[in-house]
Amino acid sequence: MLIKIIEVFTIEYIPRLPISFRKGLYKLILPLRKVKDKIALNVPTSDVTYETRLDFAKLSRQGLNNSGSKLLEFDESVKVEKLQGTPVDIYKFTPQDCAEDTYGVYFHGGGYYAGSIISHKHFVSRLSAGTKTPFYFFEYRLSPEYVFPSAHDDAKAVVEYINNIEGSKNSIWAGESAGGGLSTGLVVDDTFSIKPDKLVLLSPWLDLSDKNRDRSYLKNKDILLAIDGMHFVGEYYAGEFETNNPILSPVFADINDFPETLIQVCSNELLYNDAIEFTKKLSEKGTKYELQVWDDLWHAWHFFPIKESYEATKKVIEFITADSYSSPR
């Protein structure tokens, strides 16, 4: 009952309040949701069965769909259509007066076990409308039913399919959390030749291994993500592969010929160091990038109806629409 009340308060009540009150209330509520996840994951490793993982994933998918479809408003100026005959489900977002020389591909987050058109449609509509750019959204196979390299293979198939449609137009790839890792993993895959002209990473999960930098000192500062949960889903999604595989964890990758990149991250989220370590690699290679660090927030705050979300999205739009490209193609 308490969990239900928390969900209703988070999704239904807070967005109706004046925007100046919302951030403070979310900072009170989100730690309670984190405790809920920690309780669900607080079982001996030997007791974590496939059924346990599947039940957790199904509940998470339902929760993400519910919050994603209600927290932000859908931009009604954008047309959404499901494409036919595609390798996986692909949706195209077309804004009014859209650009004819540029398109985007959005890689959704959700820990590789959740996320769908339902959970992300509202955010992508705002991104598409703000940039006047058509965006493609796809639903890759999820864990635990499918583990690496399923999502990676789906992403390759989708990008090839879209590239055949759009040809030599300028391309933008964007993704949050696991979607940021998925898109970056595709860029560093030397066996895959298609690269974007610009890459946007929002609170990206770029290190599934935890070997590069200890996250433990951030675990109590992050009010949304539980460190146990990250280990739980990261190791399982990796399957038979090591979690420091450079496609799974691009902080270990060679990043030659990398596109112009924007990274937004919060200084007190568990994935803060993922962004910092990766930008060090970008800097060493002379890649054009911008790192924007936000304080006193939480992981993927872009999906919440707060002032900082709208400000961050505006900066993403400015980056995408700026007339500068450092294409690796």
Q: Does residue 53 form part of some domain?
A: yes
pLDDT score, position 230? 77
Spatial separation of the C-alpha atoms in residues 236 and 250, rounded to whole Å: 18
pLDDT score, position 8? 83
Q: Per residue of the chain (329 residues), what is the pLDDT tens digit?
A: 666 777 788 898 999 999 999 999 999 988 887 776 666 655 666 677 899 889 989 999 999 999 999 999 999 999 999 999 999 999 999 999 999 999 999 999 999 999 999 999 999 999 999 999 999 999 999 999 999 999 999 999 999 999 999 998 999 999 999 999 999 999 999 999 999 999 999 999 999 986 655 566 677 788 888 766 677 789 899 999 999 999 999 999 988 889 999 999 999 999 999 999 999 999 999 999 999 999 999 999 999 999 999 999 999 999 999 986 544 43
Q: Does residue 328 form part of some domain?
A: no
Tell me if 98 sits within 8 A of 106, measured CB to CB.
no
- Output the pTM of the full model: 0.94
- Written as one letter, the residue type at 245 is N
Q: Does residue 78 form part of some domain?
A: yes
Spatial separation of the C-alpha atoms in residues 200 and 191, rounded to whole Å: 22
* H-run or E-run covering 309: helix 307-321
pLDDT score, position 2? 60
CATH at residue 79: 3.40.50.1820
pLDDT score, position 251? 95
How distant, in Å, are the alpha carbons of 115, 211, 243 from that of 237? 15, 17, 9
How distant, in Å, are the alpha carbons of 206, 213, 298 from that of 190? 17, 25, 33
Tell me if 254 sits within 8 A of 188, measured CB to CB.
yes
- Please classify residue 124 by burial: count the beta carbons closer than 10 Å to its beta carbon, then call 0-12 exposed, 13-18 middle and 19+ buried: buried
Overall domain count for the chain? 1
Tell me if 198 sits within 8 A of 290, measured CB to CB.
no
Q: Does residue 251 form part of some domain?
A: yes
Tell me if 263 sits within 8 A of 201, measured CB to CB.
yes
- Please classify residue 268 by burial: count the beta carbons closer than 10 Å to its beta carbon, then call 0-12 exposed, 13-18 middle and 19+ buried: middle
DSSP reduced 3-state for 108: coil
Q: Does residue 63 form part of some domain?
A: yes
Q: Does residue 327 form part of some domain?
A: no
Q: Does residue 297 form part of some domain?
A: yes
Residue span of the structural domain in which 26 resides:
2-321
CA 311 to chain centre: 18
